[in-house]
Structure 1
Amino acid sequence: MPNSQSDALFILIKTLTKAEKRSFQLAFNKNNTKEDVLFIQLFNTLDKMKDYDEEQILRKVPDLKKQQLSNVKAHLYKHLLTSLRQLYKQKDAVIDLREQLDYARVLYNKGLYNQSLKVLAKAKSMAFEQEEVMLAYEIVEFEKLIESRHITRSLENRAEALSAESKQIQHQITNISMLSTLSLRMYGLYLKLGHARNERDAEMVKSFFESQLPPRGLAEMSFYEKVYMYQASCWYYYILQDFLMYYRYTQKWVDLFRQYPSLQHTDMDLYIKAQHNLLTAHFYTSNSEKFKTALCELEQFIATNGEDFHENTRTSAFVYLYTAKINRYFLEGTFTQGLAMVPELETEIGNHSLKIDQHRVLVFYYKIACLYFGSGDNSKAIVYLNKIINLKIGNLRADIQCFARILHLIAHYELENYSLVEYLIKSVYHFISKHKDLGLVMEEIMKFLRKYIYANPKELRNAFTDLKDRLEVISQDPYERRSFLYLDIISWLESKIDGIPVQDVIQRKFLNKERRI
């Protein structure tokens, strides 16, 4: 029996907004044929169900026979998509463009070649304006087909003009495909690898990236060619932890959208993603003023355009906005203040559960755990770290999984669960070794916990100082810096040495830096 996690129709209905449901019901209430009534009954039943259950469906809709269920579901799914297409064609320029192509095909089939060409000319102009290169190519090829098969008495030199357009678009498509593939593969590398762990990782990433770059110069590129080039470059420098170069390319990405303001609205997902990456760059370069400015711009864009967001855009906006909000608490050391946002964040994660991927959930849980740890609530931090440890996600973001286990050990150490720490050290060491992610920072922390679990306060304070000194030396290694991106272990050690909360240490560092600026 299908369940709620795999039944496509059930999942589609659960993602519908009130406006989308109303639009669908109005469309079917016009005729009220027997088949329409059955569709609406099935729709209403699925809409009210918490979990998908076929036996319950058949009881609630007695006119629906078991052998009919599969076909009726398939037809209902198709009608829902038709209704959604009609509803969103005014909001989505690509849907509207494709509809123009359909109209041109209908006119062509009726032998109205000039009318068809007129529709195609208008659609082509829209496609170029919106940088929809693939659709522009499809339109040009359709124009070529009409001109080659029929006498249309169109403009002189029409063949040469269409041939030149076709050739130019082919070059763009080839480059866009190459660069989008490169961007995707760099993202895949990051999900698998995280930040470069050593010289070998860095050389592998550099070699791959440089071998995949296209010969076409940046100045000759179209909008989406540049976007994918900037995206790929962002991932490249992010993996290498070159955050200054990462910042430069995120800024280029955002600035490109500012050069094409209409595309901020026709491709909102990509624009919001650009803003998210710029915020991340400001976070890692500790530029608090620019971070606050960029966060205000993201919030303003979401507030102004939120009503026009598709569900996908709404989910992206949620992920990026809340990630930035948490990062601001980290940047300023206001962890306790950030805890007020956790219930709201948990609710939003639940609201987007059908659309948000496990990677985002993993990152949110880790950031929430860090908020609790930073505020001194180690018990709550452990709750969220346990959620990460219990996620069945294989090697996805193995770096965060490893650091979650280290933080889990430290939180238990803070709670003086020494026997549990002693027990957990072996399993954590085994997990990290299995993922080949045991850097010098992790080794030092593991050795410290193993050696000083039961140390007296005076001996422990000296041990904290020694560990801090060793880690400060290690932090100069470019490939060990990644450990401090996930966990500000030095600030924690300073808090233990000075006998003050860790968030006070981080906040003091932030305020001192602000004064110097």
Structure 2
Amino acid sequence: KQYDEESLLRKNEGIRKEQLSNLKARLYHEILSSLRTLKQQDHIDLQLHEQLDFARLLYNKGLYHQSLRILDKIKELARNHHQETYLLQVVFLEKKIEALHITRSMQDRADKLKCESESINKRLQVTGRLSDLALQLYSWYIRNGHARNKKDHEELEKLMDKELLNTSYTGFYERLYRYQSYCWYGFIIQDFLLYYRYCQKWVDLFEQYPQMIETETAHYIKGIHNLLSAHFDLRNYKKFEETLLRFESFIASPVVQHNHNNLIQTFVYLQTARINKHFMEGTFTQGLELVPEIEAGLKEYEIYLDRHRILVFYYKFASLYFGSGEHEKSIDYLNKIINWKVDLRTDLQCYARLLHLIAHYELGNMDLLEYLLKSVYRFMAKMENLSTVEEEIFSFLRQSFKLTPRQLKPHFEKLLNKLQQLEHNRIESRAFMYLDVISWLQSKIEGKPVQQVIRDKFLADTR
């Protein structure tokens, strides 16, 4: 239901309009306080925060020894969960107590607290720099997608702080953000072995510190999602299946089921993996059965999902329909991307237009193709998304207007031969991440549906 203030005041004549603001604030505070009490045991930071409050209350009452005993317990709990910011607050309060009140006879107490404080500050500084780098790389990807050219590669190289990254770390968060930085870097430049290696390290880190799965569940979920993506990109089907089964088992656990954020995150990543499984297997038509379920989930979680996630799903839906031969339905989803004016994932904007163009080609909409060719070419050039692969596709489509059906096959074969030579060139192969142009060309040459071509390859590879 929508909040209707006028209706509320009419139904509660004893409440004046000027009182309502304070009443709402009070109610909001009570709800948050209740949620904090209910969820406290689920969140280590809430537990630590409460214990720190208790230690401060005891200190303010002059009960210094009791306060220090609680601070010792907080330290142990914070260390077990690698919560450096809380450790720093504990040390700060310990120093305050030791400086203002004589509580212990240890002569080296001041030196120990000084060393502890310096060590925590150093770790926090490094963690901050590494988390900044991981976030910068991820933001770069959200804006641009995969590296497009030499200029992008040089820009990414400048971002990578080699001295910071080449240092060996023992702390949980330093290692986590270091692995994430390499993970995003490998993914963006399409070095999928590097991407896989650091995704695996990311997930293994949580296996090494299982208590952190509950503390940093969102990071663990994202790690599994990226590991699934790495297996998908490397076409490592067996490992993909194993990881997917493990992920599904984890989703059934209380740590996910009792947390709304975790439920939303796992919904997005599980459905992404399920679609990718159909892409790998060449079962596009079967994959279409997922679309209504996912769309219902997108509607349910609409206010919690960012536009990037929705764009990616629309592109995956369009690809499923295209692979199934339902080009008109594919165009419907591609139009949603094309008409959605958002300043992110320019790569998706470009390849949605290219797939849209190819779908119209498949439908034989020749009256539209000439206009679309010029429009898509201009857009991709403006976005610096034109590599040799795209140039060759545009060149073929321009020539196809003049060719009879009998003349087309040799031109398909010629284009296929050119693109296969570029398939393993990291910069030139960027297009293959978004469009399986090779399989589409093979389907045209062999006279088979595109999903059958992909299915045959999958069965041959998994024998």
Q: What TM-score does the superposition give when structure 2 sets the normalisation length?
A: 0.95
1:494 Cα deviation from its structure 2 partner: 0.7
State whether structure 2 residue 382 is matched by structure 1 residue 439. Answer: no
Which residue of structure 2 lines up, in the alignment, with residue 13 of structure 1? none
Tell me, yes or no, if the aligned pair for 1:90 and 1:96 is still in contact at 8 Å.
yes
For residues 377 and 112 of structure 1, do their structure 2 counterparts lie closer, same or farther at Cα, with a shift above 3 Å needed?
same
For residue 472 of structure 1, the aligned residue among 410, 414, 420 is: 420
- Counterpart position of 2:25: 74
Per-residue deviation, residues 98-130 of structure 1 (Å, max 9, x unmatched): 110111111111111111111111111100000
Of 469-478 and 302-311, deviating more is 302-311
Mapping 1:58-69, distance limit 5 Å: 58-59=9-10, 61-69=12-20
Quick one: structure 1 residues 63 and 376, their matched pair in 2 at CA, closer, same or farther if it must change by over 3 Å? Answer: farther
**1:389 aligned to 2:348?**
no
2:353 counterpart residue number:
405
Could you say which residue in structure 1 is the equivalent of 2:243?
294
Alignment check: 8 A CA contact 2:250 2:256 kept: no
Instruction: Spell out the pairing of 1:322-341 with structure 2 (5 A cutoff).
Output: 322-341=271-290
Q: Which has the higher contact order (CA 8 A, sep 6+)?
A: 2
Contact kept? 1:282, 1:290, Cα under 8 Å: yes
Report the residue type matching 1:426 in the other structure: K
Secondary structure of 2:373 counterpart: helix
- Whether 1:456 and 2:404 are equivalent positions in the alignment is yes
| TM-fit CA distance, 1:308 | 5.1
Say yes or no: does 1:110 pair with 2:61.
yes
Closer, same or farther: CA 307–473 of 1 in aligned 2, 3 Å: closer
Instruction: Supply the distance in 2 between the matched residues of 1:453 and 1:305 (Cα, whole angstroms).
Output: 59
Aligned in 2, Cα 1:127/1:449: closer, same or farther, shift over 3 Å? same
**Aligned-pair distance for 1:204?**
2.0
Residue identity opposite 1:95 in structure 2: L
- State the shift of 1:222 in Å: 0.4
C-alpha deviation, 1:60, in angstroms? 5.1
Q: What stretches of structure 1 of length at least 5 have no aligned partner?
A: 1-48
Distance 2:165 2:442 in 1: 51
Aligned residue among 203, 214, 220 for 1:254: 203
- Residue 488 of structure 1 aligns with which residue? 436
Aligned partners of 2:257 and 2:263 also within 8 Å: no
Structure 2 Cα separation of the partners of residues 479 and 161 of structure 1: 53
Offset at 1:303?
0.9
| Residues 399-431 of structure 1: CA deviation (Å, up to 9, x unaligned) | 011000100111111112221222222222222
Q: How far does the alpha carbon of each residue in 1:366-398 deviate from its partner, in whole angstroms, 9 at most, with x for none?
A: 11111111111111111111111121212x010
Q: Distance in 2 between matches of 1:216 and 1:413?
A: 49
Cα distance, 1:179 vs. partner? 0.3
> 5 Å matches for 1:190-339?
190-210=141-161, 213-214=163-164, 217-218=167-168, 220-306=169-255, 309-339=258-288
Post-superposition Cα deviations, 1:20-78, rounded to whole Å, max 9, x if no partner, equal: xxxxxxxxxxxxxxxxxxxxxxxxxxxxx1x4554444445554444344333333332
Task: Summarize the Cα distance change of 1:384–1:454 in structure 2 as closer, same or farther, 3 Å threshold.
Answer: farther
Residue of structure 1 in register with 2:45 after alignment = 94
Task: Give 2:84's aligned residue.
Answer: 133
Conserved in 2, the CA contact under 8 Å of 1:172 and 1:221? no
Gaps of 5+ in 2: none
How many angstroms apart in 1 are the aligned matches of 2:105 and 2:42? 33
Please list the CA deviations of residues 145-189 of structure 1 after superposition, one character each: whole Å capped at 9, or x if unmatched: 111111113655322222221121111101100100010011111
> 2: distance between equivalents of 1:230 and 1:274?
10
Instruction: Give the Cα separation in 2 of the matches to 1:97 and 1:410.
Output: 57
Q: Which residue of 2 aligns with 1:377?
A: 326
Whether the 8 Å contact between 2:81 and 2:215 is mirrored in structure 1 is yes
**Contact 1:399 / 1:437 at 8 angstroms: preserved in 2?**
yes
**TM-score normalised according to structure 1 size:** 0.86
Q: Secondary structure at the match of 1:89?
A: helix
Aligned letter for 2:167?
Answer: G
Counterpart-to-counterpart distance in 2, 1:54 and 1:81: 21
**Deviation digits for residues 263-316 of structure 1 (CA, Å, limit 9, x no counterpart):** 112211111111111111111111000010011111111112355542222221
Q: Distance in 1 between matches of 2:131 and 2:32?
A: 28
Give secondary structure in 2 for the equivalent of 1:214.
helix
- The correspondence for 1:367, drawn from 316, 325, 328, is 316
Amino acid at match of 1:234: C
Decide which of 321, 337, 347 is 2:296's aligned counterpart: 347
Q: Which amino acid in the other structure matches residue 312 of structure 1?
A: N
* Structure 1 partner of 2:123: 172
CA contact (8 A) 1:91 1:308 kept: no
Three-state SS of the structure 2 residue aligned to 1:438 is: coil
- Quote the offset at 1:197 in angstroms: 1.4
Q: Distance in 1 between matches of 2:284 and 2:41?
A: 43
Task: Name the CA distance, whole Å, in 2 between partners of 1:173 and 1:494.
Answer: 54
Evaluate the alpha carbon distance shift between residue 115 and residue 58 of structure 1 in structure 2; reply closer, same or farther with a 3 A threshold: same
Report if the CA contact (8 A) 1:205-1:236 is conserved.
yes
Q: Report percent identity of matched pairs.
A: 50
Deviations 1:65-101 (A, max 9, x none): 4434433333333222222211111111111111101
| Cα deviation code 1:303-343 (max 9, x no counterpart) | 12355542222221111111111111111111111111111
Task: Check whether the contact 2:389–2:429 (CA below 8 A) recurs between aligned residues.
Answer: no
**How far apart in 2 are the matches of 1:193 and 1:307?**
31
One-letter identity of the residue aligned with 2:447: G
Q: Give the match's secondary structure for 2:269.
A: helix
CA distance in 2, matches of 1:407, 1:61: 57
Given the superposition, is the C-alpha separation of residues 432 and 58 from structure 1 closer, same or farther in structure 2, using an over 3 Å criterion?
A: farther
After the TM superposition, which of the residue ranges 255-264 and 456-465 deviates more from structure 2?
456-465
Aligned residues: 463
